[in-house]
Amino acid sequence: MAENQDLYKKAAAEQAVEYVEDGMVLGLGSGTTVYWLLKRLGELVDQGLNIKGIPSSLRTEGWAKEFGIPLTDFSEVEMLDLAIDGADEIDPDFQLTKGGGGSLVREKLVNAHAKRVIIIADGSKMVDRLGKFPLPVEVLQFAWQRTADKIAALGATPVLREREGEVFVSNNGNYILDCAFGSIENPRALHSELKLLLGVVETGLFIDMTDKVILAGPDGAQVINKSGQNPGNN
Ligand SMILES: O=C(CO)[C@H](O)[C@H](O)COP(=O)(O)O
């Protein structure tokens, strides 16, 4: 299953490359699906494709450098032509949960400054309703316990993220609280409520940011536009 999932991630990423044009400045998302995107883009750069990218995490920056993708930053670029990113959950309205890899703030900034956003994923990420995956919320380290109390009062069970026995620190020097809210009825309202809490930096709810989703499974990669129509590969 895990092996297949990796093949699906690769298939979705390679389909997304079809939307990349010469001269574009790209937002480079984060995660293991984006790894395949970067690998393929690197091959195309080797063959002469002229692109630049802004990475949404230090991990992506490392992979992009390894694969020879030229990088830039927001001191040089006002608007990206296209951002391609992964997701932890995608609902039928294309609202997303992201942040499983801890890069949600930079990912959101990158996607917010892109003319178009394509999300790539294996089919398991598509859900009827967000909430099975605990919602990542990035918070300031200072008084994080009190911020967690406020989030708990909204109906979640926040857990301070750890990796290999250490508290996880984001690329921005913050903590992540993984907040199990159960099934999220109104992602937009929940995002707004969380944003009002002192100590919350950003939530992993990506509301109205996605134009296209490319999902891959046993039958290959499927492109889905926001309207829900399958346009083939356009
Ligand atoms: O939001 C993210 C990282 O913060 C990733 O895009 C998300 O976790 C999906 O990752 P993967 O492609 O490894 O399943």
> Is 88 among the annotated ligand-binding positions?
yes
Is the Cβ atom of 86 under 6 angstroms away from ligand 1?
yes
Q: Please name every residue paired with 178 in a beta bridge, in sequence order, or none if there are none.
A: 136, 159
Query: 3.55.40.20, 3.30.70.260, 3.50.50.60, 3.30.360.10: which CATH number matches 135-199?
Result: 3.30.70.260
Residue owning the nearest CA to atom 3 of ligand 1: 101
- Is 107 part of the annotated catalytic residue set? yes
pLDDT at 232 over 60: no
Q: What are the b/e assignments for 66-78, b being 16+ CB within 10 Å?
A: ebebeeeeeeeee
Q: Which fold has domain 2-123+208-219?
A: Rossmann fold (3.40.50)
Which is catalytic among the residues 107, 138, 193, 202? 107
Is the Cβ atom of 202 under 6 angstroms away from ligand 1?
no
Read off the pLDDT of residues 37-75 as tens digits, 9 standing for 90 and up. Answer: 999 999 999 999 999 999 999 999 999 999 999 999 999
- If one counts every other C-beta atom within 10 angstroms of the C-beta of residue 196, the result is 8
| pTM greater than 0.90 | yes
Contact 70, 53 (CB under 8 A): yes
Contact 209, 181 (CB under 8 A): no
Ligand 1 atom nearest to 29, measured from its CA: 6
- ipTM of predicted assembly, 2 dp: 0.98
Averaged pLDDT for residues 84-100: 98
The count of residues in the chain is: 234
- If one counts every other C-beta atom within 10 angstroms of the C-beta of residue 159, the result is 13
> Would you state the structure tokens that stand for residue 50, as one six-digit string?
């002229």
Q: Which of 159, 33, 16 is nearest to 88 (CA)?
A: 33
Is the Cβ atom of 210 under 6 angstroms away from ligand 1?
no
Averaged pLDDT for residues 83-106: 98
Q: Where along the chain do the CATH 3.40.50.1360 domains lie?
A: 2-123+208-219
